[in-house]
Amino acid sequence: MLLFQNTEQYYLFAVYHDPQKVTLTDTDRELLSEAKKLIDKDVSIHYTITEIARHVGVSESKLTKGFRVIYKAGLFEYLENMRLDKGRELLETTHKSLKQISACTGYRHPNNFITAFKKKYGTTPGKWKVAR
């Protein structure tokens, strides 16, 4: 028997195990595009699934399942990738400190940014910057 700590875990499990059960209308696709634009607008903002769903006018279930089907990533996976890409861009184009870059990309603690960056790019932000 599977136990889930919250609704979000259940939706993520359901989408991973049967994403084809999602039926998306053209309107749903437009609303999911709006959700993506909301995230893209400022990656430093910490939205909840409920906030995004309410903002664009779609159910949480449709949002989480539909987003994964269209963009091949869950909402938070997508957001983390956008944050790390923005962080890499800032490392390459500015002289901001890691603390400033962390804040600009929505990480409250630089160590969390460093850990996520290393996981994605295989090196720390400091080493990345020196190598560029």
pLDDT tens digits, 12-60: 565 555 555 788 999 999 999 999 999 999 999 999 999 999 999 999 9
The DSSP symbol for 53 reads H
Residue 2 reports pLDDT greater than 60 = no
Domains defined for the chain, CATH in brackets: 24-75 (1.10.10), 79-131 (1.10.10.60)
Ramachandran assignment for 59, one of left (phi > 0), alpha (psi -120 to 50 degrees), beta (any other)? beta
- Contacts of 43-50 with CB under 8 Å at 24 or more apart are 43/79, 43/82, 43/83, 43/86, 43/105, 43/106, 44/83, 44/103, 44/104, 44/105, 44/106, 45/106, 46/106, 49/8, 49/75
What's the pTM? 0.79
